[in-house]
Amino acid sequence: MGIKITAYEAVCNLGRNIDEIFSHAVNGDNSYFVTDRELIKGYNLRLGKIDIQFEQINNPVFDTRCNRLAACVLKLLTPQVTELLQKYSKEDIAVIVATTNGSVEEFEKSGLKVHSELGNPAEFVKELLGLNNVAITVSTACSSGAKAFSAAKNYLQSGVSKAVLVIGADSLTKLPLYGFSSLEILSPQPANPFSKNHTGINIGEACACFIVEDTEKAGIEIMGIGETSDVFHSTTPDPEAKEVKKAIEQALSMANIGPEDVDYINLHGTGTLANDTMEAEAVNAIFTDKIPVSSTKPLTGHCLGAAASIEAALCCHLLNNFSGKLFPHVYDSVYNQDLKPVKLVKSENKYSKCNICVSNSFGFGGTNAIIVLGKNNGQQRLFRNDTSA
């Protein structure tokens, strides 16, 4: 048995399903952005906007862009969700949604109190599928998507549920855009993480949905999760990355692997100097500069509460479809020499294997979450200290 992702799907600016998204991401295509001059007057925004006409939701309480995103991805998973509902009772399936914006954009127009509640997306999914188990929202800024997996793992191991729908969904809204603008970190140019010429972040929107079960069948195993808090600053990470290092060590320890066993690291990689400094410090301290790393945010934009979710989906698809290429780190190739060295993936590089991925996620308030994902063919995994190997 093991906690595994047995099915997943996603939408973002790169594509209308995970296959399209993966195809563009593994080729380093960062052209799927729009320029907006209306959301913040007098300011050019580079946004990873999803080009889909979403179906309207009949109930006005739930008819929001965030929920339409979730409904769209769940529709992509119709066969798998149908099988899930046949396998388990509706009392045995929990819902955990990661988001930071929820329906705040609609609340400004509708005035409906329910649109201001972060629990709205989780309640929508529960009602849509007629489920009778727990439905919660995890909102810990940009680590939300990773922490949702931690909650799912706890539910399954404690017997609260037999399966969990883990969903990360955030849409483009004015409130966080104004917030990032006030911090002067929004960039009208492509995000350029780990470059000497860093420009700031691009915001995107996305939704990824995962079916998580404690099962013997094949899937992507959630091998380890590490969670810590900086207690350093409300918006700036600790440059010494003390708690981030602890989170990485926790995740590796839970997975029962060493740093050398990791094949690829998906960086948080926002493109701000503060993030680059902290993350390079943490990655170099634990992995040195030997493990291939890259940020996919220059391709998808920073999807806030859904960032860790879309990045987990990318890692899952990489593990399932590896063919010698990892996600390239798309930037101007002028590495900031003031940062600790890391091994950034180049598009021309070829790699021999990818069986274990680490995904880093950090958020305002010093919230850190690291997830270790491994390809599992349904056989029992032999741990490093397993004397029967």
Q: What percent of the chain has pLDDT over 70?
A: 97
Q: Is 142 a catalytic residue?
A: yes
Residue 382 reports pLDDT greater than 50: no
Average pLDDT over every residue of 72-101: 97
Among residues 142, 209, 316, 354, which one is catalytic? Answer: 142
Q: Is 233 a catalytic residue?
A: no
Among residues 198, 302, 317, 329, which one is catalytic? Answer: 302
Does pTM top 0.85 for this prediction? yes
Average pLDDT over every residue of 68-72: 97
* pLDDT value of residue 387: 31
Query: What are the E-state strand segments in the chain?
Result: 2-12, 34-36, 45-48, 93-98, 135-138, 163-170, 203-204, 206-215, 219-229, 264-266, 292-294, 343-344, 356-363, 367-376
The domain locations on the chain are: 2-376
The 10s digit of each residue's pLDDT in 9-19 is: 999 999 999 99
Among residues 268, 316, 317, 357, which one is catalytic? Answer: 268
CATH-assigned architecture of domain 2-376 = 3-Layer(aba) Sandwich (3.40)
* pLDDT value of residue 5: 98
Q: How far apart are CA 2 and CA 381, in angstroms?
A: 9
* pLDDT value of residue 46: 96
